[in-house]
Structure 1
Amino acid sequence: MIPPTKTKMKKWGLLMLLIFLLKIQQKAIVKAEDEFITIKGVQFWLNGGPFYANGFNSYWLMYEGSDPNTRHKVSDAFKEASDHGLTIARTWAFSDGGYRPLQYSPGLYNQQMFQGLDFVVTEAKKYGIKLILSLVNNYEDFGGKKQYVEWGKSKGQSLSSEDDFFTNPVVKDFYKNHIKTVLTRVNSMNGVAYKDDTTIMAWELMNEPRCTSDLSGKILQDWITEMASYLKSIDANHLLEIGLEGFYGNDNKQYNPNNLQEGTDFIANNQIHGIDFATVHSYPDQWLSGSTGEQQLSFHQKWVQQHISDTQNILRKPLIFAEFGKSYKLSSYTPSDRNQFYNITYSSIYSSASEGGPTAGGLFWQLLAKKMDNYRDGYDIVLGEDSYITGMISEQSQKLSKLRKKYRN
């Protein structure tokens, strides 16, 4: 072998130094992206700048992740999402009682199902997706507050309403134990406790909490206050949101669909200490049954703008449109209406974000991987199946990504 010249050795050394510096830079970027998302004013903050992101809901991730034969659906969904610029996923960290539950009974957990959630968290990190994990359901699907009340009855508690979930000390202790169990769970696949895992963006107290037995809102206000304080005593690093749909209390019920009240108060609930950001859901095709597509779009436009305005001027916190959709299974559906519905949502989000406002992103309901027809609920989106809606989703991801980079440069 001919010995290398000094010039070649110098070039080789410079090349190795450049590679070394690039690796350091890459590690710094990864480390920064692995930080906890925080709040600065009305914005999410990550890596020295505002955090904006397009996202989706997939409630089924833990369930499919718990079976090695179906785990590929989780991976496929995350890959499709990542390929289209989606970086936040909202999903269930609950399944109480019933078939293949996470929690068989108070404090008794199904380790196979927990390992499914471990897989979801690990796989999300692999694809650069942050998670919002919801801790219990308002509805009886996957157990919810009804199952907790039934457990309370089995322990000798005299309970007559599902809303006793919010007030009975025994039932509240069951739920607090679930909070602690999930937050302190050590992931069997990466050895990191959930409360220390930066892949998780935020916790959600309940999916769409409602307390119709007390339209004054006091019961739910007290419950949120107690549970926010308890959760933050275990995990002060992660963000916390309630899971609200956005219904106003009595003072502003005129903004609600058909003036309905659900015992929630978008303003008062989100002002509770420990609640880091606000959420809004939007399903005018459900809320305004019998209405025309045009009426639903008009309501949605006002609903979105009202919440952006109130979050900006009153709450002074970030805002995420955590669920929205339009079902193709309802008689009033037209593809044009759905496209306009998405356009209203996305353009309102981007307009707020680009002006330094509180709105950071939207999470459509719901993303499915291919060949998941049993999960089709009318609101489902399979990326690539409808080129127009897929294009809208990708474009929104790109616009928010560029905005994020703009503020960082």
Structure 2
Amino acid sequence: MKTTPSTGFNLTRRSVLASSAALALAPSAVAHAAPAAGFVTRDGIALKLDGKPYRFVGANAWYLAWLGADADYGDQGRLSRELDALAADGVTNLRVGASAELSPLKNSVRPAFRDQTATYNETLLVGLDRTLVEMASRRMKAVLYLTNFWEWSGGMMTYLSWVNGGRYINMNDPAHPWPEFADFNADFYRSEEAVALYHDYVRAVVGRTNTISGVRYADDPTIMAWQLANEPRAGGGPEVALGNLPAFYAWINGTARLIKSIAPRQLVSTGGEGLKGSSERAEVVIESCRSPDIDYLTAHIWPGNWGWLDREDMAGTDARARALAIDYVSRHIGFARQLGKPLVIEEFGYPRDGDLYDPSVPTTLRDGFYADIHAAVLADARAGGPLVGSNFWAWNGEGRTRNPDFRFHDGDSAWLGDPPHEPQGWYGVFDTDLSTRTLIRKQARALSEL
């Protein structure tokens, strides 16, 4: 996910006891929240679980390994509570960060999973172990991504800085306006040294044995899929991006093949945005997912970041933004049919009313957007199409920023789904967002009844 800052107002703290009240919304939804426990497999345009179609309501919760760590920044009790809340809402699929690179970039998360050395952060990796064990006990499935195109978890720019003498560009640096960050970052795909460091980490994590369960990650059906990165793209400006395509495709195909060689029973996807990360070219979306080692397509939808929604006039531009979003979904369903593979809308987000951040602000327009995405998934499922699920961005749960400027500060451990480069509370769903959670439960129930 990538974003630009906005404005908010003073924080109103909410008691975590409100979470218990929220869980009372629809008690009957809990019964359908647990799918079977086998590996998720691909069968043409469908995902299957124990021989039955696997369709899901999912969430992004990138920070769960940090919560699971036995460290001052962890909170294992909260990890359990958040998973309980999500399971009660019918959420069965979580997209979770399995990487972060210790970075000189502004707004990058700390601590990280790794630095430039081959000694990885075992405390954080055990936090990931614990997350998977806790998810397994609730029969949830995980999608784990292995690096990031954007700065907020270090990502590709950090890998480049480790091999190019320390050179890097900060995102949103006025001296290097867009698309300089993305164009510079795309050098990653052509850097044999940077990709080799990344592949070392891929081998270590995909080949890891869980220290709590004793199960190899590659043998753990809790892991539905590995993703090459969060939102990889070949560059920012069309000229650079199109020139980078051979290296980009080679990186995708080589990394997917590497993961499959270690974990052949688990799925692989790119983690890409779709058209918006492909220079708006259908052929790039198709080619980046053509490899037989890429099992399904992904699409991300950000009306407020892409200029579809005017965040200073949300009410006046909401209808247009939502219409464009549904068209975006429809086009990606077409790409999935062309490739004969499933599709997941694995990121979609919308601001709170007025583009504000406080949990007390209503989510009227967001709820309408969520309802549209859910309706598209449900309609395609009923038609036997390739759109198998969606993961909203993101679950904040009981997390609340402690900072009046709504910004993430070094040392913060009040983890939210809004990453460190974003205002805390911008897109995330809080445990007190009862109307949104009702929509999520309704969608989970509808999918379970197909």
TM-score (norm 2): 0.75
Q: Specify the alignment match of 1:348 in structure 2.
A: 376
Cα shift readout 1:94-127 (whole Å, capped 9, x = no counterpart): 0111432111224220111111111111111011
Q: Which moved more, 1:162-171 or 1:32-41?
A: 32-41
Q: Specify the alignment match of 2:241 in structure 1.
A: 214
Q: How does 1:192-271 map to 2 (within 5 A)?
A: 192-212=215-235, 213-216=240-243, 217-247=245-275, 253=281, 265-271=284-290
- Displacement, 1:289? 6.0
2:37 alignment partner, one of 34, 39, 43: 34
Does the 8 Å CA contact 2:37/2:222 hold for their aligned counterparts?
A: yes
Instruction: Return the alpha-carbon distance in structure 2 between the equivalents of residues 77 and 52 of structure 1.
Output: 22
Cα shift readout 1:319-378 (whole Å, capped 9, x = no counterpart): 111000101276499843212211110000011111111111110011122143352331
Does the 8 Å CA contact 2:234/2:278 hold for their aligned counterparts?
A: no
Q: Specify the alignment match of 2:114 in structure 1.
A: 103
Q: Specify the alignment match of 2:323 in structure 1.
A: 298
Q: How does 1:327-338 map to 2 (within 5 A)?
A: 327-328=351-352, 331=355, 335-338=363-366
Instruction: Return the alpha-carbon distance in structure 2 between the equivalents of residues 250 and 80 of structure 1.
Output: 35
Q: Specify the alignment match of 2:85 in structure 1.
A: 80
Instruction: Return the alpha-carbon distance in structure 2 between the equivalents of residues 273 and 362 of structure 1.
Output: 23
AA in 2 matched with 1:283: W
SS in 1 for 2:367: helix
AA in 1 matched with 2:430: V
SS in 2 for 1:362: strand
AA in 1 matched with 2:205: V
SS in 1 for 2:188: helix
Instruction: Return the alpha-carbon distance in structure 2 between the equivalents of residues 289 and 51 of structure 1.
Output: 32
Count of residue correspondences: 358
AA in 2 matched with 1:85: G
Cα shift readout 1:30-64 (whole Å, capped 9, x = no counterpart): xx933211111110011121111111000111112
Residue 119 of structure 1 pairs with residue 130 of structure 2: yes
- Displacement, 1:153? 2.3
1:172 alignment partner, one of 149, 172, 195: 195
Residue 381 of structure 1 pairs with residue 429 of structure 2: yes
1:288 alignment partner, one of 307, 321, 336: 307
Residue 132 of structure 1 pairs with residue 143 of structure 2: yes
Cα shift readout 1:182-204 (whole Å, capped 9, x = no counterpart): 01111110001111111000000
Does the 8 Å CA contact 2:398/2:430 hold for their aligned counterparts?
A: yes
Instruction: Return the alpha-carbon distance in structure 2 between the equivalents of residues 91 and 331 of structure 1.
Output: 26
Instruction: Return the alpha-carbon distance in structure 2 between the equivalents of residues 196 and 324 of structure 1.
Output: 30
- Displacement, 1:176? 0.8
Residue 307 of structure 1 pairs with residue 354 of structure 2: no
Residue 52 of structure 1 pairs with residue 55 of structure 2: yes
Cα shift readout 1:279-301 (whole Å, capped 9, x = no counterpart): 11000111016632222112111
Q: Specify the alignment match of 1:407 in structure 2.
A: none
Residue 90 of structure 1 pairs with residue 111 of structure 2: no
AA in 2 matched with 1:70: D
- Displacement, 1:154? 4.7
Does the 8 Å CA contact 2:101/2:153 hold for their aligned counterparts?
A: yes
Residue 369 of structure 1 pairs with residue 420 of structure 2: no
Q: Aligned residues: percent identity?
A: 28
Does the 8 Å CA contact 1:119/1:189 hold for their aligned counterparts?
A: yes
Q: Specify the alignment match of 2:155 in structure 1.
A: 144
AA in 2 matched with 1:34: A
AA in 2 matched with 1:93: A
Instruction: Return the alpha-carbon distance in structure 2 between the equivalents of residues 305 and 107 of structure 1.
Output: 43
Does the 8 Å CA contact 2:146/2:226 hold for their aligned counterparts?
A: yes
Does the 8 Å CA contact 1:228/1:273 hold for their aligned counterparts?
A: no
Does the 8 Å CA contact 1:106/1:151 hold for their aligned counterparts?
A: no
Does the 8 Å CA contact 1:65/1:74 hold for their aligned counterparts?
A: yes
Q: Specify the alignment match of 1:323 in structure 2.
A: 347
Cα shift readout 1:144-180 (whole Å, capped 9, x = no counterpart): 0011011112599xxx932221111111111111110
AA in 2 matched with 1:57: N
Q: Which has the larger radius of gyration?
A: 1
SS in 1 for 2:299: strand
Does the 8 Å CA contact 2:82/2:397 hold for their aligned counterparts?
A: yes
SS in 1 for 2:305: helix
AA in 2 matched with 1:372: R
Greater RCO (Cα-Cα under 8 Å, separation 6 or more): 2
Q: Specify the alignment match of 1:10 in structure 2.
A: none
Q: Greater share of helix residues, 1 or 2?
A: 1
Q: Specify the alignment match of 2:437 in structure 1.
A: 390
TM-score (norm 1): 0.82
SS in 2 for 1:281: strand
Instruction: Return the alpha-carbon distance in structure 1 between the equivalents of residues 128 and 364 of structure 2.
Output: 37
Does the 8 Å CA contact 2:278/2:285 hold for their aligned counterparts?
A: no
2:70 alignment partner, one of 67, 86, 97: 67
Does the 8 Å CA contact 1:65/1:120 hold for their aligned counterparts?
A: yes
AA in 1 matched with 2:345: F
Does the 8 Å CA contact 1:53/1:87 hold for their aligned counterparts?
A: yes
